[in-house]
Amino acid sequence: MIRVDIASALIFDESSKKILMVLNKKGDSSQWSIPGGTVEAGETLEQAVKRETKEESGYDIEITGLYSVREALFSEKGHHALLFTFLANIVGGEMNISDPDGEVVEVKWLDLETANEFMTYLPDHLKIKTQENKTAVSYYYHGAV
């Protein structure tokens, strides 16, 4: 299996109690998720999540912590994926899709209940409740060692 790293951003708007979500379309199917995608060669996790969020939503973000690390095997593709979800805040930009892959077809702020319904792949303990109950763990890029 080929190892694939995926970085995504959990962006929670405290005032509206909504999460930024993107609608990904592949073929005849579509799925809502938080912005994110594959880490490219030579890219750090932080660089990847910032790039992917900008491409898929138009927003510039700052990372405030690491929310979760998950692992999945995608047998059909032959991928062993590590999925890193970062907590992030918007620091600039405006809602706009510039996804070079053309897979993101909509960006929207969704209420917590709807967002959690769309993210059926998450275990209950990772479902989003409020900003206060998310415990961030640290993430730091050490550079080349």
Q: Answer yes or no: are the C-beta atoms of 94 and 58 closer than 8 Å.
A: yes
Contact 33, 26 (CB under 8 A): no
Beta strand extents in the chain (DSSP E only): 2-13, 18-26, 29-33, 36-38, 59-74, 79-93, 104-111
Per-residue model confidence as pLDDT tens for the chain (145 residues): 899 999 999 999 888 889 999 999 988 889 999 999 999 999 999 999 999 999 999 999 999 988 888 888 888 889 888 999 999 999 999 999 998 888 999 999 999 889 888 877 666 656 666 555 455 565 556 555 4
Q: Domain 2-126 adopts which CATH fold?
A: Nucleoside Triphosphate Pyrophosphohydrolase (3.90.79)
Question: With contact defined as beta carbons under 8 Å apart, do 82 and 32 qualify?
Answer: no
The pLDDT value given to residue 77: 85
pLDDT of residue 145: 43
Q: Where are the chain's structural domains?
A: 2-126
β strands within 94-143, DSSP E? 104-111
CA distances for 43 relative to 7, 11, 47, 110, angstroms: 11, 21, 6, 29
pLDDT value of position 113: 85
Distance separating alpha carbons of residues 83 and 76, to the nearest angstrom: 18
Beta-carbon count within 10 A of 115 CB: 23
What does the alpha-carbon distance between residue 114 and residue 117 come to, in Å, rounded to a whole number? 5
